[in-house]
A = this chain, B = another copy of it.
Amino acid sequence: MTELDAVKAALKTQAVETPSWAYGNSGTRFKVFAQQGVPRDPREKLADAAKVHEFTGAAPTVALHIPWDKVDDYAALAKHAEELGLRLGTVNSNTFQDDAYKLGSVCHPDAAVRRKALDHLLECVDIMDATGSKDLKLWLADGTNYPGQDDIRARQDRLAEGLAAVYGRLGDDQRLLLEYKLFEPAFYSTDVPDWGTAYAHCLKLGEKAQVVVDTGHHAPGTNIEFIVATLLRERKLGAFDFNSRFYADDDLMAGAADPFQLFRIMYEVVRGGGFTPEIAFMLDQCHNIEAKIPAIIRSVMNVQEATAKALLVDRDALARAQAAGDVLDANAVLMDAYNTDVRPLLAEVREELGLDPDPMGAYRRSGWQEHIVATRVGGTQAGWGA
């Protein structure tokens, strides 16, 4: 097999999980602009996700968010997904939208609120059992807005206790994925603000606890690919939440703000042996003003392009230049791959998979957008408040 064939073979295996909530409405604190044709229930979200997979061939699983995707029969939902050619993926918990969570969830000063939050997390594992999902993703909005508001350290103790209780409930092949975030919605302290905190907790929990890197959750200037390389080296990288940002957690399309950064991240993934099914590559985005399904297709394609470039890096040449301490040559090897236009290569990969080489055009021509706008009338559109 030639090297290019190996790259193409790798690209054919790539899978990007799409989040059910990205198909629904989202916005900023100032306004949620509703879009026509937005799904009104989990099945309609899956129908949209099936289109993304149909045209990219690279989005076979869908992440759920509880309670936004609450249904009576999760096994039935999983079966429905299967009929659409999809699988249900990560289960995302929500401990930030109930009125009780104003001051936190598992870190709340009141034991009753902590119990309520824990019950929700345990319920999520029940749902995983029903859907066959392997991963529980915890993003905790816990934190404080004012110095002194609560005891930073005591909150860590409560956090550790809550995480341990959830961890103990996991099945043998289930994982707890812990996500960190610098700030928002908390504006002074956040209880899991950085990879170090997530790592320290996961380390104590055990092998089934892994860290999630959301590419929009860091302080300005943070070298994210360094964190990726480090977590892979520590065997503690569990998943990605891809999106992009210029300022804070902007949740723009992956690869839209800094495509070179996405490439560098994917290079560290490839180099560190992370391009495997053990790492969950998810999107976590908000399409506030752009059409949602095409935005998700574009995002999947952006991840594919960054991955293709990362796979094309001439690692032998790179290793030689690095060993020789030749700064410019080593940089040039990396840039050669980045500067390559990989769109023709990916078009070939798609054709070899029996797909249209142009997913955006294929979706546009499919009539799906017109269909959902015409038929999804009435009811309540899905959104974060749902």
Contacts and interface: CB of A to CB of B under 8 A. Distances in A.
Interface of A: 26-31, 33-34, 96-97, 99, 101-103, 109-110, 141, 145-153, 156-157, 182-185, 187-190, 193-197, 199-200, 203, 218-223, 225-227, 229-230, 232-234, 245-248, 250, 252-253, 256-260, 264, 268, 271-272, 288-291, 294-295, 298, 305, 318-319, 321-323, 325, 327-328, 330-335, 338-341, 343, 360, 384
Contact of A221 (B110, B247, B327): B247
A54 B78 CA distance: 60
Nearest to A255: B335
Contacts of A246: 183, 187-188, 221, 223
B232 A147 contact: no
Given A29-B27, A259-B260, A260-B259, A230 B184 contact: no
Nearest to A99: B33
Given A247-B221, A334-B147, A153 B193 contact: no
CB-CB nearest 6 A-B residue pairs:
A196-B196, A148-B334, A219-B219, A220-B220, A187-B250, A28-B185
Contacts of A152: 225-226, 229, 268
A162 to B, nearest CB: 16
A197 B199 CA distance: 10
A188 B102 contact: no
Given A183-B221, A339-B343, A341-B339, A97 B30 contact: yes
Contacts of A96: 30-31
